[in-house]
Amino acid sequence: MLRRLPSLLAVATIVWAAGHAPAFCNEHLMAVNEIFPGTPADPNAQYVMLRMTAFNQGFVNGSFIEVQGPTGAILGRFGTFTHNMAVAGTAGCVYPACPAILIGTARAQTLFGLTLDQVVDGEAGRVALPLAGGRVCFRIATGYTDCVSYGAYTGPSTITPGANTCDTDFGTPAGALSLGFALARRQFFCPGKDSSVDFRIQFPRPVTNAGTNANVDSDNDTLIDVLDCADADPGTQYFPIETSNLLVGGPPTSVSWTSQNATTGTSTRYDVVTGSLGDLLASRDYSAASCMASAVNGSSTLDPAPNPPAGSGIYYLVRAKNNCGPGTYGDSTLAVDPRDALDSPGTIPCP
Ligand SMILES: [Ca+2]
Ligand SMILES: [Ca+2]
């Protein structure tokens, strides 16, 4: 009997190892849950959130997030897992009730005040999430488990090899990524996937493998408190960002820009300053600028002034402001930016 004891112990050890090692490929029932490209103020605060679609899928050590560019070419890895996850979920769980896995940058960790399950800074071959278009996939040793394509992605809609029995055709790309917003899964259906249907653009809601998060939204404007610049004002979300796509049209002369209300809230208003190109050329600053329109509620306004004489011209600059404060008329690479005077409370043309 004494001689049998060591072999019984050996058998017990083998059984334990089989149950706890990734020999059963317990990471293949996984979905991409959210991808987040950072905020306007912090574009390096990026994360990818995965979510198990079944119990016990935490053996992700060595698996990685692949990033493909607009044509489907592999750009690199967003990040690679260097360890397994501690939380496996509840037996019989189904998406979205199974545990999440949060992988991202140290900046994202700081921004959300969360301990990410995997911080990717410094990993070899790492690339950021491309904003305009691409495809992001969770890859394991045996192939691809799940992907999402978005924006101006024109590469193949399929992947090979698939690492599970789910649909390997991801259909039409979802909308483009936008700073401040996440591309978030709204449904998971293993036999039929379509990025444009399965995902939507919304404010981020990251959750770690342990279920911890900072997703309190005190004013229910869908932007969580850690990102919201006014936690008791549902009409105000992110702090104003630089306006974009400034255009002049007419007659009558109109100035228009892209609304940022979806990012900064319905309290956002826009100031328009103007001046002559002759003044700008002579002074090389904006000291002669005047306020053309203050606190415009919309994305365009008319210039009531007559056209400038032939051979001369006028310029326009626009900035956004909301209940958190004013944004900026913009910045150049000059060490002392001439537009700083426009943004300075002492010399600001528009009240
Ligand atoms: Ca909020
Ligand atoms: Ca708010």
Residue 18 pLDDT more than 80? no
Ligand with an atom nearest the CA of residue 221:
1
Average pLDDT over residues 38-53: 97
Model confidence pLDDT, tens digit, residues 107-122: 999 999 999 999 999 9
pLDDT for the residue 16: 35
| Measured distance CA(317)–CA(332) in Å, rounded | 13
**Is the confidence at residue 184, as pLDDT, over 50?**
yes
Residue 202: per-residue pLDDT: 98
The mean pLDDT of 212-227, rounded to a whole number, is: 98
Evaluate if residue 185 carries a pLDDT over 60.
Answer: yes
Provide the mean pLDDT of the chain.
Answer: 92
Ligand nearest to the CA of 264: 2
Residue 100's contacts (CB-CB under 8 Å, 6 or more residues apart) are: 33, 49, 50, 51, 52, 207, 208, 209, 211
Give the rounded percent of residues in the chain with a pLDDT score beyond 70: 93
Same fold, 23-202 and 247-343: yes
Stretch 128-143: mean pLDDT: 97
Q: Is the pLDDT of residue 14 over 70?
A: no
- 10 vs 328, residue with greater confidence: 328
Q: Is the pLDDT of residue 302 over 90?
A: yes
Average pLDDT, integer, range 309-322: 95
What pLDDT, in 10s, does the model give residues 46-56?
Answer: 999 999 999 99
pLDDT confidence of residue 338: 83
Spacing, Cα 215 to ligand 1 middle (Å): 9
- CA 20 to CA 185: how far, in whole Å? 30
Half-sphere exposure of 204 (CA within 13 A, CB side): 31
CATH of domain 247-343: 2.60.40
Smallest Cα–Cα separation from 342: which of 333, 125, 326? 326
CA of 262 to the centre of ligand 1 (A): 13
Residue 26 pLDDT greater than 80, yes or no: yes
Instruction: Over range 122-140, report the average pLDDT.
Output: 96
pLDDT at 230 over 80: yes
pLDDT in the model for residue 25: 66
For the chain, the structural domain boundaries read 23-202, 247-343
Q: Is the pLDDT of residue 17 over 70?
A: no
Ligand 1 centre to CA of 234 (Å) is 6
* Res. 10: pLDDT tops 70: no
Task: Say if residue 5's pLDDT is above 70.
Answer: no
Summarised one tens digit per residue, pLDDT across range 72-92 is 999 999 999 999 999 999 999
Please identify every residue whose CB atom is under 5 Å from ligand 2, which is an ion: 219, 221, 228, 230, 233, 236
- pLDDT computed for residue 200 by the predictor: 98
237-283 pLDDT per residue, tens? 999 999 999 999 988 999 999 999 999 999 999 999 999 999 999 99
Buried-state track 289-300, b at ≥16 Cβ within 10 A, e below 16: beebbeebeebb
What pTM did the predictor assign?
Answer: 0.88
What whole-number distance in Å separates Cα of residue 145 and Cα of residue 177? 22
Ligand nearest to the Cα of 233, by number? 2
What is residue 295's predicted lDDT score, i.e. its pLDDT?
97
Residues in the 5 Å CB sphere of ion ligand 1: 217, 219, 221, 223, 228
How far does the centroid of ligand 2 lie from the alpha carbon of residue 298, in Å? 19
Strand positions, DSSP E, the chain: 30-36, 47-52, 64-68, 74-80, 100-104, 118-119, 133-140, 143-151, 182-185, 199-202, 247-249, 254-256, 269-276, 290-296, 300-302, 314-322, 325-326
Determine the distance separating the centroid of ligand 1 and the alpha carbon of 227, expressed in angstroms.
8
The fold adopted by the segment(s) 23-202 is Immunoglobulin-like (2.60.40)
